[in-house]
Amino acid sequence: MEKRMETDAFGEIGVPQEHKWGAQTQRSLGNFSIGSETMPMALIYAYVMIKKAAALTNAELGLLEENKSEAIARVCDDILAGNWDTEFPLAIWQTGSGTQTNMNVNEVIAHLANEKTGLNIHPNDDVNMGQSTNDTFPTAMHIAVVLQLEERLMPVLDDLQETLKKLENKYKDTIKIGRTHLQDATPLTFGQEVSGWREMFHQTQAMLRQTLVPLGRLPLGGTAVGTGMNTHPEFASRALVKISQYTAHSFEENPNKFHGLSSKDAFVFTHGALKALAANAMKCANDVRWLASGPRSGLGEISIPANEPGSSIMPGKVNPTQAEALTMVCVQVMGNDTTVGVAASQGNFELNVYMPVIAYNVLQSIALLSDSLALFNEKCLKGLTVEEEKMNQLVDQSLMLVTALSPRIGYDKASLIAKKAHEDKLTLKEAAVQLGVLTEEEYDAYIDPTQMV
């Protein structure tokens, strides 16, 4: 493999000729060859937006030559177009501030800009001008999470709620037995049951929207420890106007940069809402697979699409695979929440040094929930149908219809009817008549499932 020599403060190191990174990136590849988890491209793209805004802002302030600024901005646009993704290979498991990733971005931008223009653009002095890893890495985290929430997860939740609303309306008059404690309860309509699912996703989406407020406050301009040393006092405010334009989202300065560098409470708050979404998604997916269990020896109240064979040994078996995939994602997200919470608690003095793992876990949770919920909606919920005959049968044989008798005959007599029906394997009507509590005509007049929902 042909190499070129690159230099940093530690001396020379060989870099593969075909790659555009520099010495610090190459050292990181050797020093942190841990696992297979690499920095998410969503975070890299957010970082590149910061570098573009920084270069243009520093030129406006008279600190960076116009030709260098324009060259950096053009390269950033090229990277954001997805043309250089393979140049950002660094592991999550690196320095806790993300310094190697900041330098990876700086080096690639400088190298590409120099190749295109012949200028002598320096990764630290020019691309990183007025910045530190300590303020740019958390800024990139905030931007990446906001964009992934708004552009990836929120549309999925909108589509999911639309599907559930259609099911809710379609089956608003379809009566089924309710269940509490996994035991029979009083009836409701399937539309009402689905409305509970829909509202869960509506509520957690609202929670996620609340997290956009603290996520929108960026610590750019704080540099090393929050004081803003080596940066122009107008740098952050000007750069954030540009970043807001690039992203079509409104970002503002964190008024306290010391908080912005050392605390990651915005990500704990955000991931808490993601965990709430995972909990609700788990409940919905489990309800669906319980209700679809069978087809002959389970509840069998609904049917879901058969997307693929379910068994390598049992012919004709179909499994609720989309529900299973979604629930595994939910378990992963719940585990990620613990990681984020513990990592965020480690903000020693002026800097949290667990930022890469926080970024990785939050962005992974968003990606996994987005993808799995989209598939659950498309390949399961949209094809869900009701087995009305089975629902009617289970309503008719339920002992909990006796609840409607309590206001007329009292709780104790209603309990006797339910107990006799269960022990003697009778219908509620038969038990009521045999006990002499009600006539058939009285029972029929009092027990009407349509009046119980």
Residue 75 C-alpha from the chain's centroid: 30
Of 85, 143, 160, 212, which Cα lies nearest the Cα of 369? 160
* 181 noted as active-site residue: yes
User: Coil, helix or strand for 356?
Assistant: helix
Choosing from 202, 232, 262, 311, the catalytic residue is 311
* 370 noted as active-site residue: no
Give the ranges where 32-132 is alpha helix by DSSP (H): 41-60, 66-80, 99-117
Contact 116, 75 (CB under 8 A): yes
- Read off the tokens for 387: 């087995």
Choosing from 36, 181, 297, 312, the catalytic residue is 181
CA-based torsion, 391, 393, 395, 397: positive or negative: negative
Phi first, then psi: what are they for 15, rounded to 5°? -120, 135
Give residues with Cβ within 8 angstroms of 170, minimum separation 6: 191
Please compute, for residue 217, the number of CA atoms within 13 A of its CA located in the half-sphere on the CB side.
17
Please compute, for residue 31, the number of CA atoms within 13 A of its CA located in the half-sphere on the CB side.
10
β-strand partners of 222: none
Which residues belong to the active site?
181, 311
